[in-house]
A and B are shown apart, each in its own frame.
Chain A
Amino acid sequence: KAGVTQTPRYLIKTRGQQVTLSCSPISGHRSVSWYQQTPGQGLQFLFEYFSETQRNKGNFPGRFSGRQFSNSRSEMNVSTLELGDSALYLCASIKNPGRQGAHTEAFFGQGTRLTVV
């Protein structure tokens, strides 16, 4: 069974550009969550998608957005990149989190390391 696949693994962009990252969850998993990891802030929740709908959003500016397709693959987009957006972006897939989310294992991808110069 294939794991969570994130592409690309590494990316270098210039300030002001925009970027799109992709996450393919484990087959049969319907929920995808995105996280940002920086040395200063650690791991922070960006947003979660379930059945093509955004269910939760973290405290990030509107430049950060995402979507989920009918096959559960998800993309996140960052527009007008800033130097501070340099980070490791991780996605996690969950089979069917349910409203309470009990007993639901999260599986993480390898991440996309974004460098903004």
Chain B
Amino acid sequence: KNEVEQSPQNLTAQEGEFITINCSYSVGISALHWLQQHPGGGIVSLFMLSSGKKKHGRLIATINIQEKHSSLHITASHPRDSAVYICAVRSRLVGTASKLTFGTGTRLQVTL
């Protein structure tokens, strides 16, 4: 079993729909990252969470530390949101501060 599990693997939505991507992890963490990767490869960090909820524009990220679960929501989705969304966790273990463990990603396609 992977340390970080994402669902769904693939998601197709129509423009305007509300989208949720889920991430579950099995290790103790100091932080969880949501990343966006467009075709071509570059990765953009969307959020870094250690508790609660963060919002940036149409994107909302939540984390429940007790349940080891995080969600990324996109409100009013748009074709430009089409990308791969990756959940990554940073272990709480001392000495592993910068090591990120990644989920397999969710490929999102938003159509007109």
Contact = CB atoms under 8 A, between A and B. Distances in A.
Nearest to B2: A42
Interface in B61-107: 86, 88, 90, 92, 94-105
B50 interface: yes
B31 interface: yes
Interface in A50-107: 50, 55-56, 58, 88, 90, 92, 94, 97-107
Contacts of A11: none
Nearest to A112: B41
Contacts of B94: 99-100
A82 to B, nearest CB: 21
Given A43-B102, A90-B41, A110-B41, A99 B50 contact: no
B99 A90 contact: no
Contacts of A109: 42
A48 B98 contact: yes
A94 B99 CA distance: 11
7 contacts: A50-B98, A55-B98, A101-B30, A101-B90, A103-B31, A106-B33, A109-B42
Interface of B: 30-31, 33, 35, 40-45, 48, 50, 86, 88, 90, 92, 94-105
Interface of A: 31, 33, 35, 37, 42-45, 48, 50, 55-56, 58, 88, 90, 92, 94, 97-111, 113
Given A31-B98, A33-B100, A111-B41, 11 more contacts: A33-B98, A42-B105, A56-B95, A90-B41, A99-B94, A100-B94, A100-B97, A101-B96, A101-B98, A104-B98, A110-B40
